[in-house]
Amino acid sequence: MPTMTLIQAVTDALRSEMREDKDVVVFGEDVGKNGGVFRATDGLQAEFGEERVFDTPLAEGGIIGTAIGMALYGLKPVPEIQFQDFIFPAFDQIVSEAAKIRYRSGGQYTVPMTIRTPYGGGIRGGHYHSQSGEAYFTHTPGLKVVIPSTPYDAKGLLISSIRDPDPTVFMEPKRVYRAIKEEVPEGSYTVPLGKARLAREGQDLSIITYGAMVHVALEAAKQAEQEGISVEVVDLRTLLPYDGDAILKSVKKTGRAMTVYEAPKISGFGGEINAFIAENAIEYLQAPLYRVAGFDTPFPYTLEHDYMPTTDRILHFIRKSKAY
Amino acid sequence: MTKYEIQSVLKGDGSDWDHNREPHLKDDQLRAIYATMVRVRMLNERGMNLQRQGRIGFYIGSEGQEAVHVASAAALEPTDWWFPHYRDPGVALLRGATIEQMVHQLYGNAKDMTKGRQMPNHFSFKDQSFFSISSPLTVRVPQAAGAAYAMKYKRTKQIAVSSFGDGSSSEGDFHVGLNFAGVWKAPVVFLLNNNQYAISVPSSMQTASETYAQKAEAYGFEGVRVDGNDPLAIYAAMKMAADKARAGKGPTLIECYTFRMGPHSSSDDPKRYVNPNDLTFWGAKDPILRMRNYLVKKGVWNDALEKELVERTKDEIQKAIEAAEATPAPELRELVTDVYAEVPWHLEAELQELKESVE
């Protein structure tokens, strides 16, 4: 079995699905000849031609607006938004159109589209190449929101998203695009949407997280173990609809929980998860529910590692929870 | 003729016309265009009254603009995809949707094909290739370009038409959609209903361009300007644009110069901003009146046919209203269906909570 980085697994997922289904088309800014600024579509135009893999004019609203039209007509478009920070010109098309078309047409029309977009900080990208905007989309019924953390999941979840009959925002943790390598099967396979993954088993405390933060949480859990605290890490993988059963199962076992996310803390997705835990399992809790998150500031350049959750900051809350 | 001169066939009240430019339609096609315009007008009048009586929540009509969409649709294949303006019900009617289906939608009841999820007039008729309407119009400009790309990719020889207003031309999606379509040479026609007002804002405050049609030039394709109260000129322009798109020669922007004779919607009072002289001027150019005069002069229409059409339509609307008022609201479960292909666990839980709270 070949080993791949997360970005290679993304490319491999696209290649596998394009070989299986002629309705899959891939496009966006610089995705054609150049193969994408992160090389996610490297080699695809050479294999599948310019009709299926192509560069578009520089307009995110146009990329998503036209992708919706293609999806309505029966294609399975996989548009790329070069950085998630650039998605907002397309926000109207995603939130007011793609997400609502099935509902508003009484189920007559559907939008099987997968928007791929790299997100997240830690790459010296400043305000406009670092943000983590998942909560804008999890607040929109009709969308699915998927964030992988490993190469294996990236490929399987991306294939599931492409095959899904509804619009999916597929956010890729660019900070770990090349940080981890693991075995990834050749050909097509799926990882189901809506199911979390137990990234690490533990007894004393649950960290519910996703994307690049999974790896920071795992490192914190490793260090906590040396202090005698056994930490469980739940990787959500799909944020909408999220895996409520997996969250409750973990929290009911450990009795302590926190969410870790790199987006601004207020109205962040971890707040939803903590509210869900409070509503459904408060009697199991032995400590407050914490949010270890980004600061409620625009994303900074020089101090980005102080802005984002670190192992130290997570460890601080692990100790605080345990000592409560 | 200069480049953006208004193209017309009918002269004056329609009793005379330009024989050189007259498109050659069969008698039953001509009658279908006319009858559909009349049906749209009659549904419009009754719908506004239903709203005034408080029997439906809202109405948004097409008075004075019926020719733009009805004559355009007549020039297309019924399988060509229409990305609608909310003033376009005639396209669906011409293609076989029924007044009863529309009235159920106005009432948002259990027989409404959109399951009571949208305001009145926000129709969706997939069987008639009439795409779902959202209140903002311009979003469908790039969507139509994308569907047209897919049609070209699948080599189906279908085309897409996007219909919108003069106000839409100021939105970013107008630029984006025309730009993408131009680059892709996509088989799409952009139909701009220039009724001279975006709610209360006149065209003069919408653009500094002399015409809307000329905007196409910047995107590398043809723009034409047509008398929007002349069904024959509109038919000819759309036929030219559709043939061109189908032949792989790219998009066209058609500006139909017309006038909105009614309010923007039932929530609007145009007396605050429309000059009554304009209503008199445009009233004399009513597209239904002109088309009737043309048909009568050609000998394909008469008083007996008119009486039959009006009686039949009146009866159809009345029966549709009775049927709609006798139909209950959609099932509670329709609150959570069609958000996704399958109802996810959290929506089941929310519905369950609602049921428990009302029990």
Model pLDDT for residues A229-242, shown as the tens digit of each residue: 999 999 999 999 99
CATH of domain B10-328: 3.40.50.970
Q: Least CB-CB distance to B118: which of A70, A92, A104?
A: A104
| Beta-carbon contacts of residue A189 (< 8 Å; ≥ 6 apart) | A155, A156, A159
In a domain, A207, yes or no: yes
- Put simply, the answer to whether B145 touches A65 (Cβ < 8 Å) is yes
Choose the closest CB to A66 out of B142, B151, B340.
B142
Judge whether residue B3 has pLDDT over 90: no
Give CA torsion, residues A59, A61, A63, A66, to 10 deg.
Answer: -130
Q: B338: which chain A residues are within 8 Å (Cβ-Cβ)?
A: 102-103, 106-107
Q: Quick one: A150 and A250 in the same domain?
A: no
What whole-number distance in Å separates Cα of residue B283 and Cα of residue B260? 10
Residue A98 pLDDT class (50, 70, 90 cuts)? very high
Closest CA to B171 of A171, A89, A280, A231: A89
Interatomic CA distance for residues B282 and B197, integer angstroms: 14
CA distance A65 to B176: 9
- Count the domains in chain A: 2
**pLDDT of B171 over the 60 cut:** yes
Question: Helix, strand or coil for residue A279?
Answer: helix
Host domain of residue A158 = 3-183
Residue A189 above 80 pLDDT?
yes
Choose, from B21, B31, B117, B264, the residue flagged as catalytic: B264
Which residue in B has a C-alpha nearest to residue A93's C-alpha?
B139
Asked if residue A58 is part of any domain, the answer here is yes
Peptide bond before residue A241 is cis, with ω within 30 degrees of 0: yes
DSSP string, A59-124: -HHHHHHHHHHHHHTT-EEEEE-SSGGG-GGGHHIIIIIITTHHHHTTTS-----EEEEEE-SSSS
Q: How far is A107 from chain B (nearest CA, A)?
A: 6
What are B267-316's pLDDT values in tens digits? 999 999 999 999 999 999 999 999 999 999 999 999 999 999 999 999 99
The overall pTM is greater than 0.95: yes
Residues A149 and A8 in one domain: yes
Could you tell me which residues of chain A have a Cβ less than 8 Å from any Cβ in chain B? 25, 51, 56-57, 59, 61-62, 65-75, 77, 89, 92-93, 96-97, 100-110, 141-142, 144, 165-166, 194, 241-242, 244
Verify whether the Cβ–Cβ distance A101 to B147 is below 8 Å: no
Q: Which chain A residue lies closest to B348 (C-alpha atoms)?
A: A241
Q: Are residues A129 and A201 in the same domain?
A: no
Query: Taking CA atoms, what residue in A is nearest to B123?
Result: A105
User: How far does the CA of residue A303 sit from the closest CA of chain B (Å)?
Assistant: 35
Alpha-carbon distance of A115 to A94, in angstroms, equals 9
**Residue B7 DSSP class:** B
Q: Are residues A62 and B345, on separate chains, in Cβ contact within 8 Å?
A: no
A73/A138 same-domain check: yes
**Measured distance CA(B94)–CA(B113) in Å, rounded:** 18
The confidence score (pLDDT) of residue A110 equals 98
Q: Does A189 fall in a domain?
A: no
- A241 and A281 inside one domain: yes
Distance from the B170 Cα atom to the nearest Cα atom in chain A, whole angstroms: 15
Q: Is the pLDDT of residue B40 over 80?
A: yes
My answer on whether A179 and A201 are in the same domain is no
Optimal mutation site among B139, B176, B333, B336, interface A, most CBs of chain A within 10 A? B176
pLDDT digits (tens, 9 = 90+) for A106-127: 999 999 999 999 999 999 999 9
The answer to whether A69 contacts B118, with C-beta atoms less than 8 Å apart, is no
CATH number at residue A154: 3.40.50.970
Write the residue in B151, B153, B172 that is nearest to A51 by C-beta: B153
User: Is the same domain home to A8 and A155?
Assistant: yes
Same domain, A179 and A214: no
Give the mean model confidence (pLDDT) for residues B253-270. Answer: 96
- The alpha-carbon gap from B134 to the nearest alpha carbon of chain A, in Å, equals 8
Q: Could you tell me if residue A65 is inside a domain? A: yes
Question: Mean pLDDT, to the nearest integer, of A96-110?
Answer: 98
Residue A134, classed as helix, strand or coil, is: helix
Q: What distance in Å separates the CA atoms of residue B66 and residue B46, rounded to the nearest whole number?
A: 16
Token look-up 């009006």 returns: B310
Q: Identify the H or E element spanning A216.
A: helix A213-226
Nearest to B212 by CA among B113, B293, B141, B316: B141
Judge: B134–A104 Cβ closer than 8 Å, yes or no. yes
Domain spans of chain B? 10-328, 331-359
Indicate whether this complex's ipTM tops 0.95.
Answer: yes
- The two three-digit tokens of residue B35, written as one number: 């009858």
- Nearest CB to A66 within list B114, B146, B344: B146
Contact A241 B346 (CB under 8 A): yes
What pLDDT is stored for residue B358 in this prediction?
Answer: 85
Kindly compute the dihedral angle of the four CA atoms of residues B195, B197, B202, B206, in this order, to the nearest 10 degrees. -90
To the query of whether residue B219 is one of the catalytic residues in this protein, the response is no
Q: Report pLDDT digits (tens) over B75-116.
A: 999 999 999 999 999 999 999 999 999 999 999 999 999 999
Question: Pairing between strand A3-5 and A181-183?
Answer: antiparallel
Residues A213, A174, single domain; the answer is no
- Report the residue of chain A nearest B186, measured CA to CA: A66
Among all residues of chain B, which has the CA nearest to that of A96?
A: B134
As a whole-number percent, the residues of chain B with pLDDT over 70 amount to 99
**B131, B154, B346 member nearest A72 (Cβ):** B131
Model pLDDT for residues B44-60, shown as the tens digit of each residue: 999 999 999 999 999 99
Residues of chain B with pLDDT > 90, as a percent, come to: 99
- Catalytic residue (one of B104, B260, B290, B292): B260
- With a cut of 60, say whether residue B1 has pLDDT above it: no
Domain boundary among A121, A155, A183: A183
| pLDDT value of position B2 | 67
Q: Is residue A159 situated within a structural domain?
A: yes
